[in-house]
Amino acid sequence: MTHVRWTLVLLIAAAPGCRPAPDRPDPVREFAGSYPEAATPDGALKTFELTAAETEVALIDGGALKVWAYNGQVPGPTLRVRLGDTVRVRFTNRLPQETTIHWHGVRVPNAMDGVPHATQPPIRPGASSTYEFTPKDAGTFWFHPHVRSSEQIERGLYGLLIVDDRAPPPYTRDVAWILDDWLLGADRQIVPHFNTPHDLMHDGRWGNAITVNGRTDTALKVAAGERVRLRLLNASNGRIYVPDLGGLDAKIIAVDGLYTRAPLPLARFELAPGNRLDLDLAITGGGRSLVVTDHFIPQRPNRLAEIEIDGTAATPSFASPAKAHVPAWSSALSMPLTHEFRLDARRGGALGIEWTIDDQAFAGHEHAHPSLVLARGRWSRLRFVNASARLHPIHLHGMFFKLLARDGIAVDEPFFRDTVLIHGRETIDIGLVPLDAGDWMMHCHILEHAEAGMMTMLAVRDPA
Ligand code: C2O
Ligand code: CU
């Protein structure tokens, strides 16, 4: 098994660099200016204390729920800094298990990525650890454990890391909604059986209570005329949401942290586990109340929250911040393929079913080595063939990518992502120019699939 993987690495490493033909646009040149290669640490040092522990909070509909929480709250505290600031987090583990913190979507130095064994030893119960990094990008990011994630995230361990622009646009309100679902038993407590055969064979653990910021009664009170920045995060283990803002004028301005090329209509956006969406809401029509719903399964919508609109306020007028440079990469599909990954399942392994990438189930971080080497600063095109009928939101650590095609049909998403949903039996192509060296995880963000093997590592190295 081991030597099969190494053969693959050597083959890829030996493949000629993807040089474009002279008549085609160079994807690396098109990419230039999308986001910076290095951080500019010219701000302040912001220190945060985080402790993970078991606790009880009034959640869902207000009853006492036993959870695992950062600083005693679910969602955990929002860590907020400005671009240029350095984040220092002094973390203490008071859980009955080992843990780590991963900074989802943040281009951190590899050693700060929170991947147990690979980038740091797991943090034992009672132990502490410090994370420090200077974000390179402004936007909506989040943090969560990377040990036994299907249990630890499900029990309530997650929070937002918001990196403000150097000059934040003057929204009248900046609101974050974290979407999550909980599987509760008859005792109204979290069902303590994780990675069940049912969850593993389907799309992970889908709960029976959906919450926004931990509550089923979340309501946003605004006034007509306001312009609100609404940040959405899907922190569920497996559930996908298609948010519907009840007829409000909602434009997408950022996806997975980074601004889009232009403001986009919300339309039908599949917010998979790990995904973030920043919306620009123009509030109109005072004296009404809207229901925000999820339409992932169109015939079974779910209520998420309410928006209550009062009187009138002055309408601020400013240009949308969504004007990022995002390459078109329109001839990308004619460029050579760097690698094709095959996603599938089989019987076996400690959980009875294994989710595989190229017929390999992740054998644990202790034994991990990269299954593919990507050249830093060079263009790569990766294909994912979903040979299974289940959903796989694939997430890459340490890099952003752009979706190029679904089932061979070009799609132009005018934005980057760090997580993309692959539907059953679907094939997708993504393009990327990795800028950050290191060994980075790539895995399904349906946490049960990841626990059952659907993880691997991509190495980003300087080209020879
Ligand atoms: Cu939010 Cu490795 O992921
Ligand atoms: Cu999956």
- Give the pLDDT confidence of 118-129 residue by residue, as tens digits: 999 999 999 999
455 Cα: distance to centroid of ligand 2 (angstroms): 9
Nearest Cα residue to atom 3 of ligand 1: 104
Segment holding 14, helix H or strand E: helix 2-14
Alpha helix ranges (H) inside 414-459: 447-451
Phi, psi dihedrals of residue 237, rounded to the nearest 5°: -70, -40
Asked whether 441 lines ligand 1 (CB < 6 A), one says: yes
Q: What is the pLDDT of residues 313-371, one digit of tens each?
A: 888 899 999 999 999 999 999 999 999 999 999 999 999 999 999 999 998 766 678 99
Give 123-163 as a DSSP string.
BPTT-EEEEEE--SS-EEEEEE--SSHHHHTTTT--EEEEE
Q: 464: pLDDT confidence band, cut at 50, 70 and 90?
A: confident
What does the pLDDT read at residue 314? 87
**Could you tell me the distance, in angstroms and rounded to a whole number, from the CA of residue 62 to the centre of ligand 2?**
32
Ligand number, closest to the Cα atom of 451: 2
Q: How confident is the model at residue 282 (pLDDT cuts 50, 70, 90)?
A: very high
Q: Does residue 266 register a pLDDT over 50?
A: yes
The CA distance from 182 to 156, in Å, is 9
Could you say which ligand is closest to the alpha carbon of residue 424? 2
State the ligand closest to the CA atom of 238: 2
On average, the pLDDT of the chain sits at 94
Q: φ and ψ at 95, to 5 degrees?
A: -85, 165
Report CA(450)–ligand 1 centroid distance (Å): 10
pLDDT value for 315: 86
Q: Cα 375 to chain center, whole Å?
A: 23
Burial grade of 111 (CB within 10 A; 0-12, 13-18, 19 or more): middle
pLDDT in tens, 181-234: 999 999 999 999 999 999 999 999 999 999 999 999 999 999 999 999 999 999
Q: Is the CB of 443 under 6 A from ligand 1?
A: yes
* Predicted pLDDT of residue 23: 61
pLDDT the model gives residue 296: 98
- Which ligand has the minimum distance to the alpha carbon of residue 118? 1
- Ligand 1 site, residue 397, Cβ cutoff 6 A: yes
365 DSSP 8-state letter: G
Judge if the beta carbon of residue 365 lies within 6 A of ligand 1. no
Q: Say if ligand 1 is within 6 A of residue 276 CB.
A: no
Q: Please report the pLDDT score of residue 367 as a whole number.
A: 66
Query: Which residues line ion ligand 2, judged by CB < 5 Å?
Result: 392, 444, 446, 449
Task: Band the pLDDT of 174: cuts 50, 70, 90.
Answer: very high
Contact 125, 212 (CB under 8 A): no
Residue 10 has pLDDT above 70, yes or no: no
Alpha helices in 190-230 (DSSP H): 197-201
What is the tally of helices (H) and strands (E) in the chain? 5, 29
Q: Cα of 446 to ligand 2 centre, how many Å?
A: 5
Integer Cα distance of 50 and 70 in angstroms? 6
For 126, the token pair is 């009672």
DSSP 298: T
Burial of 349 (0-12, 13-18, 19+ CB in 10 A): middle
Q: For residue 73, is pLDDT > 50?
A: yes
Q: Whose CA is nearest to atom 1 of ligand 1?
A: 104
Mapping DSSP to helix (H, G, I), strand (E, B) and coil, where does residue 333 land? helix
pLDDT, position 363: 80
Supply 14's token pair. 């030996």
From the CA of 455, give the closest atom in ligand 1. 2
- Atom from ligand 1 closest to the CA of residue 441: 2
What pLDDT is recorded for position 364? 76
Give the Å distance between the CA of 449 and the centre of ligand 1.
12
Q: What is the rounded average pLDDT of the residues 300-322?
A: 94
H/E element, 10: helix 2-14
Which positions ≥6 away from 56 have C-beta within 8 Å? 64, 65, 66, 67
196: its two tokens:
């069940």
The whole-angstrom separation of Cα 271 and Cα 346 is 27
Place of tokens 């474009």: 20
